[in-house]
């Protein structure tokens, strides 16, 4: 399989360093509700992980929480709560969002405030090797000039980066692009003891330290949004490679495209629909995943009601093919769908830098074949199992909406009555039953094996 590596700018054959794939994805700063941009990024890396496992790899997946930073301190002060309380609350909220989106949990979620000893060890190591220096106030900065290939991830040299970033000259720093590894605390801020001052870690050093502690000196995949390439990931490389003396710190740098909100024609309702919570009130998590995965992960994605509604309709087709006709026995004729060929087509798409859009195309082709075969009385069970299996690699549950257990026998009864009415050519009454059920979002389908019903997807 091939993965596009931001560092080299090309697709490269994937071979993990050891017997398990070591994967690190930058986590959130828990100061506000998770929004749909988070959903996009974490769904993409969730699928990368699921697919690697599907291909037989063992994956160790680590994601951090930046549970102390300026935004948390500001928000907590506004809300009148301690910063840690705010972070704790938002972390709980983060997990509930990600669980609802069927994003599998990481193997560990290290938090900045709980990894201070490791962070101090790495900073001290960088100072000892001449890669970092302490300033008068007790802060510590990374010395970008000490790293000859600084800028290699964003493919720019120091001068270009400096003019691009428009960094302010700071008398304390040797070079404008030098960045804080340790920030001396201002009065009233949360602070930890260190050899340099009471203070807290900078953002970038956290990921280097955690990656080192939880995954080792060199890892296979590091992921994040394209907005993290510079300065965050550039700085992670500088810190990690300067500290360990080993290159590369990361074999494959994966970056997802960014979400576009607001710039395209967007319905009024969607204009305010930004948080995951709000999106999930109106759309199923399967539909959100299908919508996001229908574009290539490196492309920007424009969020729209139309796109999500189309995803709901597409999902319905997949669900129907995978599970529809559950009241019906398998057809008598032997299976005709070449499941191996479908599986290979899916793998071919995903092996090409996780081309989920094309992979989803193979699922729809399969769904069409299932429907055709079923109408011809062919056994579609193996094909349905494959469809559910491959959908699962994309994290799609294909779960049908919950039907109240109490309602089920009554629906069955009405379906039976309608069948009897049809036998007696009471078409008008039979149609009345069908349309009545349809209004209640119960869809009937007449098949050669009899009438089956399913719950529709009407939003109510
Ligand atoms: Zn990071």
CA–CA separation, 433 and 137 (whole Å) = 79
What is the phi/psi pair of residue 429, to 5°? -65, -40
* Cβ neighbours of residue 393 closer than 8 Å, sequence gap 6 or more: 47, 50, 51, 54, 346, 350
Residue 49 burial (C-beta neighbours within 10 Å; 0-12, 13-18, 19+) = buried
- Full-model pTM: 0.85
Give span(s): CATH 3.40.50.620, the chain: 2-256
Check residue 404 and give its pLDDT.
Answer: 53
- What is the fold of 2-256? Rossmann fold (3.40.50)
Q: How far is ligand 1, taken at its centre, from the CA of residue 321, in Å?
A: 41
* Cβ neighbours of residue 225 closer than 8 Å, sequence gap 6 or more: 37, 41, 255, 256, 258
Q: Which two tokens stand for residue 209?
A: 């330290």
377, 378, 382, 384: CA torsion to nearest 10: -40
Q: How far is ligand 1, taken at its centre, from the CA of residue 224, in Å?
A: 8
Where helices occur in 303-355 by DSSP H, the ranges are: 305-323, 339-351
Q: How far is ligand 1, taken at its centre, from the CA of residue 49, in Å?
A: 18
Q: How far is ligand 1, taken at its centre, from the CA of residue 235, in Å?
A: 9
Tell me the C-alpha to C-alpha distance, in Å, between residue 84 and each of 87, 89, 114, 201, 210.
5, 9, 12, 15, 19
Rg (C-alpha) for the chain, rounded Å, is 27
Q: How far is ligand 1, taken at its centre, from the CA of residue 56, in Å?
A: 27
Pairing of strands 199-201, 179-184: antiparallel
What is the phi/psi pair of residue 340, to 5°? -65, -40
Q: How far is ligand 1, taken at its centre, from the CA of residue 302, in Å?
A: 25
Give span(s): CATH 1.20.120.640, the chain: 268-393
Check residue 316 and give its pLDDT.
Answer: 93
Residues linked to residue 227 through DSSP beta bridges, in sequence order = none
Q: How far is ligand 1, taken at its centre, from the CA of residue 236, in Å?
A: 7
Q: How far is ligand 1, taken at its centre, from the CA of residue 175, in Å?
A: 22
How many CB atoms neighbour CB 176 within 10 A? 16
Q: How far is ligand 1, taken at its centre, from the CA of residue 210, in Å?
A: 9
CA–CA separation, 390 and 376 (whole Å) = 24
Check residue 265 and give its pLDDT.
Answer: 40
Q: How far is ligand 1, taken at its centre, from the CA of residue 232, in Å?
A: 6
Check residue 449 and give its pLDDT.
Answer: 81
Residue 144 burial (C-beta neighbours within 10 Å; 0-12, 13-18, 19+) = buried
CA–CA separation, 82 and 63 (whole Å) = 24
Q: How far is ligand 1, taken at its centre, from the CA of residue 425, in Å?
A: 68
Q: How far is ligand 1, taken at its centre, from the CA of residue 297, in Å?
A: 19
Is the domain covering 268-393 a CATH 1.20.120.640 domain? yes
Q: How far is ligand 1, taken at its centre, from the CA of residue 296, in Å?
A: 22
Residues in the chain: 460
Q: Which two tokens stand for residue 87?
A: 């972070």
Q: How far is ligand 1, taken at its centre, from the CA of residue 134, in Å?
A: 23
Q: How far is ligand 1, taken at its centre, from the CA of residue 223, in Å?
A: 9
Q: How far is ligand 1, taken at its centre, from the CA of residue 203, in Å?
A: 8
Q: How far is ligand 1, taken at its centre, from the CA of residue 153, in Å?
A: 14
Per-residue pLDDT tens listing for the chain (460 residues): 999 999 999 999 999 999 999 999 999 999 988 888 899 999 999 999 999 999 999 999 999 999 999 999 999 999 999 999 999 999 999 999 999 999 999 999 999 999 999 999 999 999 999 999 999 999 999 999 999 999 999 999 888 888 777 666 677 899 999 999 999 999 989 999 999 999 999 999 999 999 999 999 999 999 999 999 999 999 999 999 999 999 999 999 999 999 887 544 444 444 444 789 889 988 999 999 999 999 999 999 988 889 999 999 999 999 999 986 554 555 678 888 999 999 999 999 999 999 999 999 999 999 999 999 998 989 999 999 999 999 999 999 998 765 555 778 888 889 999 999 999 999 999 999 998 888 888 888 888 888 888 887 664 4
CA–CA separation, 3 and 14 (whole Å) = 6
Q: Which two tokens stand for residue 36?
A: 């749909």
Q: How far is ligand 1, taken at its centre, from the CA of residue 207, in Å?
A: 5
Q: How far is ligand 1, taken at its centre, from the CA of residue 204, in Å?
A: 6
| Strand, helix or coil for residue 413 | helix
CA–CA separation, 369 and 380 (whole Å) = 9
CA–CA separation, 11 and 4 (whole Å) = 4
Q: How far is ligand 1, taken at its centre, from the CA of residue 62, in Å?
A: 11
Q: How far is ligand 1, taken at its centre, from the CA of residue 82, in Å?
A: 24
Q: How far is ligand 1, taken at its centre, from the CA of residue 163, in Å?
A: 23
Q: How far is ligand 1, taken at its centre, from the CA of residue 28, in Å?
A: 9
Q: How far is ligand 1, taken at its centre, from the CA of residue 25, in Å?
A: 7
Residues linked to residue 24 through DSSP beta bridges, in sequence order = 62, 222
Tell me the C-alpha to C-alpha distance, in Å, between residue 121 and each of 182, 201, 418, 446.
12, 12, 75, 69
* Cβ neighbours of residue 236 closer than 8 Å, sequence gap 6 or more: 204, 207, 208, 211, 222, 249
């Amino acid at each position: 399989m091939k993965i596009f590596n931001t560092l080299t700018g090309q697709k490269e054959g994937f071979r993990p360093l050891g017997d398990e794939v070591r994967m690190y994805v930058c986590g959130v700063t828990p100061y506000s509700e998770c929004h749909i941009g988070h959903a996009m990024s974490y769904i993409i890396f969730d699928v990368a992980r699921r697919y690697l496992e599907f291909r037989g790899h063992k994956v160790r997946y680590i994601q951090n929480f930046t549970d102390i930073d300026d935004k948390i301190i500001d928000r907590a002060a506004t809300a009148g709560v301690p910063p840690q309380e705010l972070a704790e609350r938002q972390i709980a909220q983060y997990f509930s969002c990600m669980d609802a989106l069927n994003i599998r949990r990481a193997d560990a979620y290290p938090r900045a405030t709980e990894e201070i000893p490791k962070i101090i060890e790495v900073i001290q190591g960088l100072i000892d090797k001449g890669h970092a220096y302490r300033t008068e106030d007790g802060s510590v900065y990374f010395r970008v000039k000490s790293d000859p290939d600084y800028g290699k991830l964003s493919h720019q040299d120091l001068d270009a980066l400096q003019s691009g970033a428009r960094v302010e000259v700071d008398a304390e720093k040797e070079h404008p692009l030098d960045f804080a590894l340790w920030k001396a605390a201002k009065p009233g801020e949360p602070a930890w003891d260190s050899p340099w001052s009471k203070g807290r870690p900078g953002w970038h050093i956290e990921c280097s330290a955690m990656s080192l502690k939880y995954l080792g000196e060199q890892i296979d995949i590091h992921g994040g949004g394209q907005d993290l390439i510079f300065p965050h990931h550039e700085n992670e490389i500088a810190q990690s490679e300067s500290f360990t003396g080993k290159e590369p710190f990361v074999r494959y740098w994966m970056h997802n495209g960014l979400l576009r909100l607001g710039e395209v024609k967007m319905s009024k309702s969607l204009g305010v629909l930004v948080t995951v919570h709000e999106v999930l009130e109106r759309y199923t998590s399967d539909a959100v995943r299908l919508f996001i995965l229908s574009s290539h992960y490196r492309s920007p994605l424009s969020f729209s009601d139309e796109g999500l509604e189309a995803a709901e309709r597409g999902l319905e087709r997949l669900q129907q093919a995978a599970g529809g006709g559950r009241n019906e026995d398998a057809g008598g004729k032997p299976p005709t769908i070449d499941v191996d060929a479908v599986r290979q087509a899916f793998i071919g798409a995903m092996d090409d830098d996780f081309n989920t859009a094309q992979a989803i195309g193979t699922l729809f082709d399969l769904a069409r074949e299932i429907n055709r075969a079923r109408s011809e009385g062919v056994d579609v069970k193996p094909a349905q199992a494959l469809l559910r299996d491959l959908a699962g690699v994309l994290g799609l549950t294909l779960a049908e909406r919950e039907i109240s257990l109490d309602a089920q026998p009554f629906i069955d009864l009405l379906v039976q009555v309608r069948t009897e009415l049809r036998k007696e050519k009471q078409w008008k009454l039979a149609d009345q039953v069908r349309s009545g059920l349809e209004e209640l979002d119960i869809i009937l389908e007449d098949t050669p094996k009899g009438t089956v019903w399913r719950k529709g997807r009407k939003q109510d």
